[in-house]
Amino acid sequence: MVANREISATEAQRDSECGMWNSELLARASLCASVPLWWTRIALMKNLGILLSGRGSNFEAIARNIAAGKIPHARIAIVISNRADAGGLETARKLGLKSRLIPSKGKERKEHDHEVVAALQEHKVDLVCLAGYMRLLSPWFVRQFPGKILNIHPSLLPAFPGLEAQQQAFAYGVKVSGCTVHFVDEELDHGPIIVQRAIPVLDTDTEHTLAGRILEQEHIAYTDAINVVLEGKYEIVGRRLVRQ
Ligand code: GRF
């Protein structure tokens, strides 16, 4: 409960740095003559760290949605790829975003994870978004950002975890498929589900057309999930994310 008194910029910032989303405090801070509006906007912003290994269309959709004001409380602080040939790295450069190549080839998982976490911390990342990141995170990595790592998977989990989920679903003959954005825990494609979007599998579909239509949904779902998490109006009950 916030007492009915004027608050200082320092107090609002401390609250924001605690990872809490107390927009009431920040909004009231902006009413104080001494706190400019731009400051409260910046204080409300959360830093996203994007991890990718490939073409980066999910990352690009997030970046474009931020630019369009559809993810009002986030900015991309850093884009990290473990592969030099990732198209997403080039996209980041074109969009004028900070990017970094941290190669994983030939490295122990522990060593690579430590390098990536150090880069995320250096850029003060609040929320890590895996966007086609083809690496399993070590339990240590997951513990560095508790409840703050998201992943997108191209199936309706728990169906078809792992690689080539769209092909798995198509070959299985499902009539409905889609995508899932979930929190990352220590198991593969497993943490609590934040958003799912479903589409019908058409008789005329091929693996390719199905994957393409799922991807369109992914680009919507990731933005929705980031907004849910950054708004913070939810609780995790067992495995369930319940909106408040
Ligand atoms: C997407 O299908 C995503 O669901 C999966 O990897 C793919 C990445 O695609 N985790 P892109 O690099 O974002 O285009």
pLDDT in tens, 92-122: 999 999 999 999 999 999 999 999 999 999 9
Q: At the top level of CATH, which class does the domain 23-146 belong to?
A: alpha beta
Token reading at 118: 């150090």
Instruction: Report CA(211)–ligand 1 centroid distance (Å).
Output: 10
Domain boundaries, the chain: 23-146, 151-244
Q: Do domains 23-146 and 151-244 have the same CATH topology?
A: yes
3-state helix, strand, coil in the chain (%, to 5): 40, 20, 40
Shortest-distance Cα residue to atom 5 of ligand 1: 132
**Distances, alpha carbon 55 to alpha carbons 73, 125, 207, 232, in Å:** 25, 22, 18, 30
Instruction: Report CA(159)–ligand 1 centroid distance (Å).
Output: 17
**Which residues are identified as catalytic?**
153
In ligand 1, which atom is closest to the CA atom of 133? Answer: 10
Using only C-alpha atoms, the chain has a radius of gyration, in whole angstroms, of: 19
Cβ partners under 8 Å of residue 88, min gap 6: 50, 52, 53, 54, 55, 56, 59, 60, 79, 81, 131, 132
Shortest-distance Cα residue to atom 7 of ligand 1: 132
In this prediction, residues 2-23 reach a mean pLDDT of: 36
Q: At the top level of CATH, which class does the domain 151-244 belong to?
A: alpha beta
Question: Can you give the pLDDT at residue 20?
Answer: 37
pTM: predicted TM-score of the whole model, two decimal places: 0.85
